[in-house]
Amino acid sequence: MSCMELRNVSYTYPGEKMPVINNLTLQIEKGTCLAVRGDNGSGKTTLFRLLNGLAFPDTGRYMFEGTVITEKYLKNNRASKAFHKKIGYLFQNPDVMLFNGTVYDEIAFGPRQMGLPDEETDRRTRDCLQLFGIGHLAEKAPYHLSGGQKKRVALAAVMALNPDVLILDEPMAGLDAGSRAFLHDFLSQLKKAGKTLIMATHDEQLVRDLADQVLVMEMPNMEMSDTETPETV
């Protein structure tokens, strides 16, 4: 059984004519790394929204560990919790992920939501603060941090849940060289630890070192429109 499988999946945004995802079939085995490439506007983030159950195929099927993921299935609270506990999602723009008053609370939020005991939550939060080199920021407001610091905090918050699958939307974007090297190394270690990684990235070296599979998203047929594609989150 694959970790994730898309079968002939198509998706069109409500009110739009062109599908962003068009008849996509894809299989991701547990413990492997899929790199997703493609120009801005080619549908990488949309694909990740489908994989995270934030959007649903119009046609075709998405299966996670053998279970067909539908809107109805995720309406069930227990099913939804189990699904989201297994998948960590780093958004392209960390601003949309950060909403707590302090970095500490930001990282502790997920474990608290999952109902972990206070002690375990505190242990995980401290581990993540240390792992990502952000211990000195623990009492700061995420809102005031630099872009690279925000990304570290967002990733720490994702890792605090110890997900089996990590979906990372342009994790290297906006990071300085030191942070990129750190993240490259960190992701290699996750892969060695058996995690399944799915990442949209333009980082050639990262793709060469980690990817077992590369998916190149094609631009939807743009002939009908001459407008610039906005950056989306």
- Binding residues for ligand ADP, rule: CB under 6 A, are 13, 16, 20, 38, 40-46, 217, 229-230, 232
Among ligand ADP, Mg ion, none, residue 99 binds (CB under 5-8 Å by kind): none
According to DSSP, residue 17 is labeled S
Site map for Mg ion, 74-93, x if CB under 5 A? ------------------x-
The distance of closest approach from Cβ of residue 197 to Mg ion in the complex, given in angstroms and rounded to an integer, is 17
Tokens representing 163 are 């997900």
Among Mg ion, ligand ADP, none, residue 115 binds (CB under 5-8 Å by kind): none
Helix extents (H) in the chain:
44-51, 71-75, 77-86, 103-113, 118-131, 147-159, 177-192, 204-210
Which residues have C-beta within 8 Å of that of residue 35, sequence separation ≥ 6?
199, 200, 201, 206, 207, 210, 211, 213, 214, 215
Site map for Mg ion, 171-210, x if CB under 5 A? ----------------------------------------
The distance of closest approach from Cβ of residue 42 to ligand ADP in the complex, given in angstroms and rounded to an integer, is 4
Q: Closer to ligand ADP at the Cβ: 60 or 133?
A: 60
Interhelix angle 147-159/118-131, rounded to 10 degrees, is 140
Q: Decide if residue 45 touches Mg ion (CB under 5 A).
A: yes
The distance of closest approach from Cβ of residue 20 to Mg ion in the complex, given in angstroms and rounded to an integer, is 11
3-state secondary structure of 180: helix
Among ligand ADP, Mg ion, none, residue 16 binds (CB under 5-8 Å by kind): ligand ADP
C-alpha torsion 89→91→51→211, nearest 10: -80
Among ligand ADP, Mg ion, none, residue 94 binds (CB under 5-8 Å by kind): none
8 close to 60: Cβ distance less than 8 angstroms: yes
Which residues have C-beta within 8 Å of that of residue 169, sequence separation ≥ 6?
44, 45, 48, 89, 90, 91, 92, 199, 200
Q: Closer to ligand ADP at the Cβ: 43 or 110?
A: 43
The distance of closest approach from Cβ of residue 16 to ligand ADP in the complex, given in angstroms and rounded to an integer, is 5
Which residue ranges make up the site for Mg ion (CB under 5 A)?
A: 44-45, 92
